[in-house]
Structure 1
Amino acid sequence: MTIAQGNPEIQEEKVIFAAADVTLEGRLAPAGESGGVVLTSPHPLYGGDMDNNVVWTAARAFQNRHWTTLRFNFRGVGLSTGDYGGGQAEVADIQAAMHFLATRVARPQVIVGYSFGAAVASRALIQGTPADDLILIAPPIALMEINYLPETPRLRLIIVGDRDDFCPLSQLEYLFQTSPLDSRPKIRVLPGCSHFFAGFERSLYDILQKYQRTLSGSDT
């Protein structure tokens, strides 16, 4: 089975849901009662959308584990209304996505954020957005001012490549060095991988396929 083929029984439905003063375009793949995942996309001003290779790969990994997934476009992208909100207004987008997901599937509910979407997801949890786990993929610490990452509750896992110019591994590790050991997220490093994960989609998929929620065991 290739990632592109996945499970032929998985079908995503087009959805539109409200977020504060905008409406957001999404794709929902219902998959029973295993749990739900919201997936957030990279920077809207640089072509980031819900069809990004990393977002799509992450969605497929959880869909094939029988989790309900919701990927969506931030405001101002695709059919989502409104304009880019500088990473602040987009917090409301994530809150709305989590609320929408909660109407479709029971907990646990997890957020998987990539790049810009990782930065906003972290801010959303700090501001009280309910989520049982947070997984970040390549948070852009060299591009955005996101030194608040260590303050993020329920941050369980960070996935990063060792050739990522926007998330240098040494800078990421330094950011967490003063955090208590029992509250630090696990960092999984993909050798040779850049910020964009081109050619490393299968490796990312495999990590997310094996991930076990911390509350029910130890993460892998």
Structure 2
Amino acid sequence: MSAGGAVGEETVEIRGGVELPALREHIELRTDDGLILVGELAVPADRRPVATLVTLHPLPTHGGFMDSHILRKAAARLPELADLAVLRFNTRGTTSPRGTSEGSFGDGVAERADVAAAMAFVAERGLPHPWLVGWSFGTELAVKYGLEHPIDGAILLSPPLHRASDIELARWAHSGKRLIALIPEHDDYLRPDEARERFAVVPDAILIAVDGGKHLWVGENQTRRVLDEIVAVVNPAASPLPMEWTGPPA
């Protein structure tokens, strides 16, 4: 931290675990099959959000949860920097510092109800312009179930396309819902050339090949690239994101 801006304000370099101002609320989602899922809603501290990110985390059997770093940093930064609401939650059977969601891992099938519970919460709260933001396993849920809900579109981070079939993917073609996929150059599962073949069934999808990118988007440069791409789609007026923030000290 260093002094800057108006008297009493400080300038913070935005990186790592920096958490900018927002209203953060522990929430519970209730599924149609009777489970309680734990999560958090972060919204701008002093204004209405212009859009909403409904985040879907990586594979819980391989360490994915609502605090997976890209999603945690989206919630830490984007309410303040881009006027976005960010909803994070643990899918069934998943544990994080926030707590454990009821139920057990459903291999992307039972989680259909988890997505529906999140979208019901968005509707209940009147959160505007919802977008699904899936990462790895979360992209499978977005592709398979996103079109069942009133969303503006979906942003896919490192989509493996293991559980989502070509038929399910093709339903996005001419659906009126935008589909954007960030494909890391060095992804472990789906790299840019193969992704272009798989996404050919959705001619209006936007594929963004990220040079040097890896499946887990490790490092501040990759984090910034991902968050910048999300904001450029959802609220382009806030893009590119700043590298510093000036405001009252925490």
What's the TM-score bracket when you normalise by the shorter of the two chains? 0.7 to 0.9
The CA deviation at 1:58 is 3.5
Structure 2 gap ranges (5+): 1-12, 238-250
Q: Contact 2:182/2:207 (CA < 8 Å) preserved in 1?
A: yes
The equivalent position to 1:104 in structure 2, one of 125, 136, 151, is 125
Q: 1:6 Cα shift?
A: 4.6
Q: Closer, same or farther in 2 for the Cα pair 1:144/1:209, shift >3 Å?
A: same
Distance 1:77 1:24, change over 3 A: same
CA contact (8 A) 2:52 2:128 kept: yes
* Pair 1:124-2:137 in alignment: no
Q: Which has the higher strand share?
A: 2
Query: Once the 2 structures are TM-superposed, how far is the Cα of residue 175 of structure 1 from its aligned partner?
Result: 1.3
Q: Tell me whether 1:24 sits opposite 2:37 in the alignment.
A: yes
Q: Does 1:201 align with 2:223?
A: yes
1:162 aligns with 2:182: no
Deviations 1:16-53 (A, max 9, x none): 12012211010111232412221000111111100001
Aligned to 2:205: 185
1:210 CA displacement: 2.2
Residue 113 of structure 2 is matched in structure 1 by 92
Distance in 2, Cα, partners of 1:106 & 1:11: 14
Runs of at least 4 residues off by over 6 Å:
none
CA RMSD, Structure 1 to Structure 2 (Å):
2.1
Q: Scaled by the length of structure 2, what TM-score is found?
A: 0.76
1:54-93 equivalence runs, <5 A: 54-60=70-76, 62-63=78-79, 64-78=81-95, 79-93=100-114
Pair 145,101 (structure 1): closer, same or farther in 2 beyond 3 Å: closer
Q: Quickly say closer, same or farther: Cα 1:178–1:207, change in 2 above 3 A.
A: closer
Largest Rg, 1 or 2 = 2
2-side partners of 1:97 and 1:117: how far apart? 13
Given the superposition, is the C-alpha separation of residues 138 and 56 from structure 1 closer, same or farther in structure 2, using an over 3 Å criterion?
A: same
The answer to whether structure 1 residue 113 and structure 2 residue 126 are counterparts is no
Rate the CA distance shift 1:71–1:124 in 2: closer, same or farther, 3 A.
Answer: same
**Superposed CA offset, 1:85-139 (max 9, x none):** 110111110111011122223421111111101101111124x122111111111
Q: How many residues align?
A: 209
Asked if the contact 1:26/1:73 (under 8 Å) is kept, the reply is yes
Identity level (%)? 27
For structure 1, the residue ranges without an aligned partner over 5 or more in a row are none
Deviation of 1:213 after TM superposition, in Å, equals 6.3
Q: CA deviation at 1:145?
A: 4.9
Measure, in 2, the Cα distance between the counterparts of 1:179 and 1:134.
13
Check whether the contact 1:61–1:209 (CA below 8 A) recurs between aligned residues.
no
1:193 counterpart SS class: coil
Change beyond 3 A, Cα 1:178–1:71: closer
